[in-house]
Homo-oligomer: A and B are copies of this chain.
Amino acid sequence: MQDSRPTDAAAPDAGAEADAGAGQRDLAAAGIAELRALGERVTPARRAVLRVLAETSEHLCVDDVLARADVIVPGLHRTTVYRAVETLGDLGLVTHVHPDHGPAVYHLDPSLTGSSHLHVRCRRCGEISDVPADLLDGVADRLARQIGFQLQPDHAALTGLCRACAAADPADDPR
């Protein structure tokens, strides 16, 4: 498992600042309320996944979520986390991003956090950074007009080299 730490290099709207626990708990609670409102079952596993995602601004892969959620719900199974994030994704509570390599990463949907952003990933070090949500607005317009393609810019990470890796030794194994 590669870890998937974000840098927030150019975070858009600074959302939930350096707040310790209160704001995050509200996020999880809001997610749970929404679950209930949608007529979905509120289970320990889903609670835990929401809480884990609410407690961080990092981009967590399923294994990361499992590791943290297992503390809350011991014995939680990886498959269950896959199913939970899928369900929560279908409901619009959780969003996932596909990096060019490695597992998909998850975070709370901007509709809950109020802070939307896109992702870039360094091919060399694998670090995922947030970039402003409007970065691809112009590109989306062009694609829509020219070929009728509706860009979903948050669904795949853009790739390249981060500042550090671009500066470093240019010959290493990029993927």
Number of copies: 2
In this assembly, does A155 line the interface, its C-beta being within 8 Å of a C-beta of chain B?
yes
Residues on B with C-beta less than 8 A from A112 are: none
CA distance A43 to B154 in the complex (A): 42
A151 near B98 (CB under 8 angstroms)?
no
Which of B120, B143, B155, B156 meets A149, CB within 8 Å? B120
Main secondary structure of the interface of A (DSSP, over half): mixed
B150 near A158 (CB under 8 angstroms)?
no
Sample of 21 A–B contacts (CB below 8 Å): A10-B146, A123-B152, A123-B155, A129-B147, A131-B143, A131-B147, A138-B138, A147-B162, A148-B163, A149-B161, A149-B162, A149-B163, A149-B166, A150-B160, A150-B166, A151-B160, A152-B159, A152-B160, A152-B161, A155-B159, A156-B156
